[in-house]
Amino acid sequence: MKKYTLFMLACCVFLGNANAQKFKTKLDSATYANGYMMGEYFHQNNIELNAEMYYKGMVDGYKGSKMKINKEEKDALMQYFNQHVQQQMQENMQKQADKNKIAGAKFMEENAKNKDIKQTESGIQYKIIKEGNSTLHPSATDKVKVHYTGTLLDGTVFDSSVQRGEPISFPLNQVIPGWTEGVQLMVPGSVYKFWIPSNLAYGDRNIGSIPPGSTLVFEIELIEINPE
């Protein structure tokens, strides 16, 4: 039986009880929310499991019923389940990363056709929005002060010093490679827009709201080199 069908069966049992009670107390609502979040976690990570057995095990454990498996097998089975979950998460993350890298490469290919777009040998693309008056470029070992907004290709903002209303300072060699390379092209007072492929960003890792394999877009204003 497919995992989503199993989830529906388990949810029907649980929701049938919940609907009958109609969340009479705050604890009812909190308990439902906790169970929902656990189910949502498995669903969002595409973890294959038998939801009926998961629900039954939870109820039996809560009621103090006798375990339906040998206690001697429990530790080995728990280890198997944890390994199963980890493997599924890794496989799903890699599939998502591969999909995002293909989409990113296609975007970059089209973006490169824009006459205003320049591309470095490493594959970073950039557009000069505003050029500063200085002739001084930072080196990789310099500390810089910048304002920036980072988005995914669909425009979703995942980080922004502009929104926080406060620029940030950091050593240029302690950020993603795309930043280290890209900001060195700038001079104080300039504003560049960068398109950074995943291999120069966070690779196949899932970082917060940044999906694995993502091509990232940054609009960066270089304010100062080696700020006090």
Residue 158 catalytic?
A: yes
> Given 196, 218, 220, 225, which residue is catalytic?
218
Residue 176 catalytic?
A: yes
Contact call for residues 38 and 51 (beta carbons, < 8 A): no
**Strand 143-151, strand 216-225: pairing:** antiparallel
**What are the tokens at 109?**
């290919």
> Given 14, 55, 159, 220, which residue is catalytic?
159
List all residues 6 or more positions away from 165 whose beta carbon is below 8 Å from its beta carbon: none
Residue 32 catalytic?
A: no
Residue 194 catalytic?
A: no
Residue 218 catalytic?
A: yes
Q: What are phi and psi of 79, to 5 degrees?
A: -65, -40
Which amino acid is located at 189 in the chain?
A: G
> Given 202, 210, 220, 225, which residue is catalytic?
202
> Given 128, 176, 207, 223, which residue is catalytic?
176
Residue 62 catalytic?
A: no
State the catalytic residues.
148, 158-159, 176, 202, 218
